[in-house]
Amino acid sequence: MSLADIDIAFLPEEPAHDAEIEQINAEAFGPGRFARAAYRIREDGPHERALSFVAMQDGQVIASVRMTPIAAGAGRGLLLGPLAVRPPYKNRGIGRKLVKMAVEAARKAGAGVVVLVGDEPYYGPLGFARLPAGQLRMPRPVDPNRLLGLELKDGALDALRGDVVHAVLARDAVSAKAG
């Protein structure tokens, strides 16, 4: 059954979706998700709800994707993920559609680059490519072959270099230096 065969609503994420999104992520990634590098970044500040989306069927969240603001060096961007789809709905194009929606929303919001930790065979057809080795350092070990990026504005990816942190931490560091 394809995406066209089922009645799914794709909507901007709202606070009312949080509990179901957490449940979907727990199903998809288990307790090990808390040890992942991307999760470590997400712990330090909020995601961008305006750039995050859910797929719903019969009033229930069946999939979600989030975008989190990040900083590395002089660059700023977004970290895509987690992307999770409930098992009965996998392999129907729902996740790919959510990624496309999130990337398009990021583009319209003026974001320069979107990065993620994921499988190139899945994300490559959506425009993501492996980042140059050593360009970014995640807060925990990551297979460098899984660190992918999609440049939305020329030069934005090149400016994103070094340690990746939640953008809130970068703002706080700038404020502390200015004060």
Q: What are 40-81's pLDDT values in tens digits? A: 898 889 999 999 999 999 999 999 999 999 999 999 999 999
List the beta strands (DSSP E) in the chain.
Answer: 9-12, 53-57, 60-73, 75-85, 113-117, 129-130, 136-137, 147-151, 160-166
Question: If we measure between CA atoms, which residue out of 87, 84, 67 comes closest to residue 22?
Answer: 84
Buried b (16+ CB within 10 A) or exposed e, 151-176: bbeeebbeebbeebbbbeebeeeeee
107-166 pLDDT, tens per residue?
A: 999 999 999 999 999 999 999 999 999 999 998 889 999 999 999 999 999 999 999 999
Q: For the chain, which residues make up each domain, given as ranges?
A: 3-178
DSSP three-state, residue 47: coil
Question: Which residue from 65, 48, 47, 86 is spatially nearest to 11, judged by alpha carbons?
Answer: 65
CATH 3.40.630.30 matches 3-178: yes
Q: What's residue 137's pLDDT?
A: 93
In the structure, what pLDDT confidence band is assigned to residue 175 with cuts at 50, 70 and 90? very low
pTM: 0.90
